[in-house]
């Protein structure tokens, strides 16, 4: 990165605000804005944060679940190292690998999550079509995981880059959730193509019914949920830690707010699906 890029970043409003309010990244304000608009996290809830490093989203989630005399929990996962956060169980591993998924399940200690949030991003190649496809693959991995661990009625928030595969991903999410919106919080950089899919009201049987109906109609171009297994090109590491229960600091992320992102889009918009 150039010196000019770092100088501009330091002058940027949300970067300076994060420094002042002791958040680990400017991305914390994206989750705050999503929470203000959609109310996806409640006191006492159990949250799984995918792609958590450096920890801005986990900090916000921990604040939201420990309120009104109620104490919830946050399990944070990333491929990168992450410093401990009070009240957060930190796991390090790759969500594309079974060992990491099982480690997260262990940290949940037999409970279902109330919310799965994901700010995962792929390594940016600079080629728009490649970065978009990798982002959709990674978001599909987060969706598969959410379908496995969420309780009925649970919520899901995931980052994905805009592009030709985006409508298909929205259809996949809609097969499992009652309400789905695509939203660009104001803290999103204007030059970024990232969008957040906010899904509320997990319905496990909704996915099965959608797959059955799609099979009966034999609709072209609309893949069933069984096709969401993904393999993301690039680095892959085995999970380096196993969880023994919530509240035990352990460290995974694809950086949630780092790197250059392709494309341009207008911030502050959302549409209901």
Residue 187, pLDDT score: 93
**HEC readout, 152-173:** EEEEEEEEEECCCCHHHHHHHH
pTM of the model: 0.74
148 has catalytic annotation: no
Residue 149, pLDDT score: 96
| % of the chain at pLDDT higher than 70 | 71
Helix 13-20 with 28-38: angle, nearest 10 deg: 90
Q: Which range of residues forms the domain containing residue 240?
A: 3-272
Given a cut of 50, whether residue 138 has pLDDT beyond it is: yes
Identified catalytic residue from 30, 32, 159, 200 = 159
CATH of the domain at 97: 3.40.50.150
Q: Looking at residues 62-71, what average pLDDT do you find?
A: 91
Q: Looking at residues 196-222, what average pLDDT do you find?
A: 65
Given a cut of 90, whether residue 120 has pLDDT beyond it is: yes
The count of other CB atoms within 10 Å of the CB of residue 158 is 26
How many whole angstroms separate alpha carbon 102 and alpha carbon 65? 23
How many whole angstroms separate alpha carbon 84 and alpha carbon 90? 7
Residue 257, pLDDT score: 37
How many whole angstroms separate alpha carbon 136 and alpha carbon 181? 16
Two tokens, residue 1 = 């990165």
Residue 12, pLDDT score: 82
Residue 64, pLDDT score: 97
Beta carbons of 62 and 88 less than 8 angstroms apart: yes
Q: Looking at residues 69-97, what average pLDDT do you find?
A: 93
The count of other CB atoms within 10 Å of the CB of residue 54 is 23
Q: Looking at residues 188-199, what average pLDDT do you find?
A: 92
Residue 65, pLDDT score: 96
Given a cut of 70, whether residue 7 has pLDDT beyond it is: no
Residue 156, pLDDT score: 98
**Number of domains the chain contains:** 1
Residue 241, pLDDT score: 34
Give the sheet arrangement for strand 73-78, strand by strand. 88-92, 73-78, 46-50, 113-118, 150-161, 194-202, 177-183, 270-272
| % of the chain at pLDDT higher than 90 | 62
């Amino acid at each position: 990165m150039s010196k000019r890029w770092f100088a501009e970043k330091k002058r940027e409003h949300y970067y300076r605000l994060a420094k002042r309010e002791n958040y680990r990244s400017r991305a914390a304000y994206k989750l705050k804005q999503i929470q203000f608009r959609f109310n996806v996290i409640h006191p006492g809830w159990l949250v799984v944060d995918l792609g958590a490093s450096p920890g801005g989203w986990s900090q916000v989630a921990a604040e939201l679940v420990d309120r009104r005399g109620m104490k919830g929990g946050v399990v944070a996962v990333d491929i990168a190292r992450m410093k401990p956060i009070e009240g957060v169980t930190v796991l390090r591993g790759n969500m594309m690998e079974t060992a990491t998924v099982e480690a997260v399940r262990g940290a949940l200690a037999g409970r279902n999550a109330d919310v799965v949030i994901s700010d995962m991003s792929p390594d940016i190649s600079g080629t728009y079509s490649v970065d978009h496809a990798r982002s959709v693959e990674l978001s599909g991995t987060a969706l598969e995981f959410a379908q496995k661990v969420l309780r009925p009625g649970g919520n899901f928030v995931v980052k994905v880059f805009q592009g030709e595969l985006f409508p298909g991903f929205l259809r996949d999410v809609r097969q499992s959730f009652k309400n789905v919106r695509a939203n660009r919080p104001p803290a999103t950089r204007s030059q970024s193509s990232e969008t957040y899919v906010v899904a509320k009201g997990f319905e496990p049987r909704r996915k099965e019914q959608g797959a059955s109906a799609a099979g009966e109609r034999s609709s072209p171009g609309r893949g069933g949920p069984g096709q969401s297994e993904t393999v993301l090109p690039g680095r892959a590491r085995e999970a380096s830690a196993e969880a023994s229960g919530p509240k035990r600091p352990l460290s995974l992320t694809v950086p949630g707010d780092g790197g250059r992102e392709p494309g341009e889009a207008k911030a502050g918009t959302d549409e209901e699906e």
